[in-house]
Amino acid sequence: MSPNRFYLVAIGLFTVFTIIMFFTLPKKYGISLLIIDISIIIFAFLVWLNDKHFNEQINERIFSISDKEFIKDVIIRQMNMHGVTEVVEEDNIIKFYRGKEKAGEIRFKTDENGNPLKIDGKYIIEVRAPEYILHNIDHETWSILSQK
């Protein structure tokens, strides 16, 4: 059972429990349970709406990296935590798929010959992924940089 379905069933069971208790307990306790139940339903809806609208929204960041191992160390690991099932590496693009849906991509900036662009010994990459993944990559990048 998926976590979302579990939460939905738990909220449904609590709602049924609240309705039963509303008629069996004294009114002040029944109303208190009803208020708690309504609060839980509203909070769950707002969390679901936030996840669907803001966290899953695809955004873009531009990074400069010194070696390609950084991609495997940080970005691919973060995308795997996102539930990526397939990683496709093409010429200068790494695409991430979750099932059949494209979950993100890494695109190397290229020069006029199609080779990855290197400025001051660093590759320039564009990372397109959900916002919370980019946020995790930002934090991990800064923690790696602070250790060097």
Question: For residue range 107-141, what is the model confidence (pLDDT) as tens digits?
Answer: 989 888 888 888 888 888 898 988 888 888 888 77
Name the pLDDT band for 99 (thresholds 50, 70, 90). Answer: confident
Contact yes or no for 106/125 (Cβ under 8 A): yes
Q: What angle do CA 103, 106, 109 make, to 5 degrees?
A: 150
CA distances from 115 to 64, 108, 123 (A): 15, 9, 11
| Total domain count, the chain | 2
Domain that holds residue 41: 3-54
From the CA atom positions of the chain, what is the Rg in Å? 23
Q: Which of 11, 30, 54 is the last residue of a domain?
A: 54
What is the arithmetic mean of pLDDT over 45-60?
80
The alpha carbon torsion through 90, 96, 98, 100 (nearest 10 deg) reads -30
- Do both 67 and 106 map to the same domain? yes
Clarify whether residues 102 and 35 are in a common domain. no
User: Shortest CA distance to 148 belongs to which of 44, 59, 65?
Assistant: 65
Statement to judge: residues 79 and 43 lie in one domain: no
Whether 16 and 63 map to the same domain: the answer is no
pTM: 0.60
The CB density around residue 18, as the number of other CB atoms within 10 Å, is 19
**pLDDT for 148 beyond 80:** no
Q: Are strands 93-98 and 118-119 parallel, antiparallel or unpaired?
A: unpaired
Q: Are 49 and 70 part of one and the same domain?
A: no
Q: Percentage of residues in the chain with pLDDT exceeding 90?
A: 22
- Which parts of 70-121 are beta strand (E)? 86-89, 93-98, 101-108, 118-119
**Terminal Cα-to-Cα distance of the chain (whole angstroms):** 43
Same domain, 48 and 8: yes
